């Protein structure tokens, strides 16, 4: 059966409904079906109440949809519906497995449009009033995760930049902190930990690299960790 629909990979942003782009909100309001991630909030789904909603959430440590199964669902939906939205937390092109979904859709000749979203690191910098770059202190930033593909099981190298932003940074960030200490980073290096960025239950912790290496309190939402001298509290900065 020939594919007739169009698929939109839409970035939902960090969580708050009013941080999605105008284009993303418009396309959600016109969607026939929406396949959404676990990190997409209920208030975001209110923007597409007219659509068929399909949860394809993927959360670390929890039962979740297989990526191949998600790809197959997208293809099948494109054969049934005119306007298909794949709604992803943050930005589709950053830690969103967009490459796998694009490749599957393109292999079947399905038209795809990508709608970018605000990635969590940028929202976290705004929420904490901590610029990721700072003149004379930090001029390079790396966004990274410790997650690896089955074909590449070895632990990835930590980027060598002034500011490090670790996505999905719960237990993995503890190991990162110890590796940085072993590599010679200052134990007093400032660290900012943000849980549930931009949401009503957002929580911010300011610690040091040495403290992080000893562990984090239990977290119940997505965690992002920012490390580096640019994370130092500025004079007169409200906390």
Cα separation of 130 and 165, whole Å? 12
Q: Which of 58, 66, 91, 111 is catalytic?
A: 58
Q: Which residues contact 56 (CB under 8 A, 6 or more apart)?
A: 35, 36, 37, 65, 69, 70, 73
Cα separation of 72 and 211, whole Å? 44
Known catalytic residue at 99 = no
Q: Which of 37, 91, 182, 201 is catalytic?
A: 37
> Six-digit token pair at 204?
């911010």
71: number of Cβ within 10 Å: 19
156: number of Cβ within 10 Å: 11
- Phi/psi of residue 192, each to 5°? -120, 125
Known catalytic residue at 182 = no
DSSP 170-205: SHHHHHHHHHHHHTT--TT-EEEEEESTTSTT-EEE
107: number of Cβ within 10 Å: 10
Q: Which residues are catalytic?
A: 37, 58
């Amino acid at each position: 059966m020939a594919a007739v629909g169009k698929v939109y990979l839409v970035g939902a942003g960090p969580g708050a409904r009013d941080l999605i782009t105008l284009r993303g909100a418009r396309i959600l309001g016109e969607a026939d079906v929406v396949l959404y991630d676990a990190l997409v909030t209920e208030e975001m789904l209110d923007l597409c109440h007219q659509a068929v909603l399909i949860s394809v959430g993927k959360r670390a440590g929890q039962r979740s949809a297989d990526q191949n199964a998600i790809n197959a669902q997208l293809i099948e939906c494109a054969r049934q519906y005119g306007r298909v939205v794949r709604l992803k937390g943050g930005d589709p092109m950053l830690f969103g497995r967009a490459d796998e979904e694009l490749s599957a859709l393109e292999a079947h000749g399905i038209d795809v449009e990508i709608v970018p979203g605000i990635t969590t690191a940028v929202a976290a910098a705004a929420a904490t009033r901590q610029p990721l770059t700072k003149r004379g202190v930090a001029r390079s930033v790396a966004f990274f995760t410790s997650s690896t593909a089955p074909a590449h099981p070895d632990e990835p190298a930590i980027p060598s930049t002034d500011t490090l932003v670790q996505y999905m940074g719960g237990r993995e960030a503890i190991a990162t902190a110890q590796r940085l200490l072993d590599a010679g980073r200052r134990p007093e290096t400032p660290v900012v930990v943000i849980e549930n960025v931009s949401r009503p239950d957002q929580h911010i912790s300011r610690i040091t690299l040495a403290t992080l290496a000893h562990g984090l309190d239990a977290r119940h939402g997505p965690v992002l960790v920012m490390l580096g001298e640019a994370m130092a509290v500025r004079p007169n900065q409200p906390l």
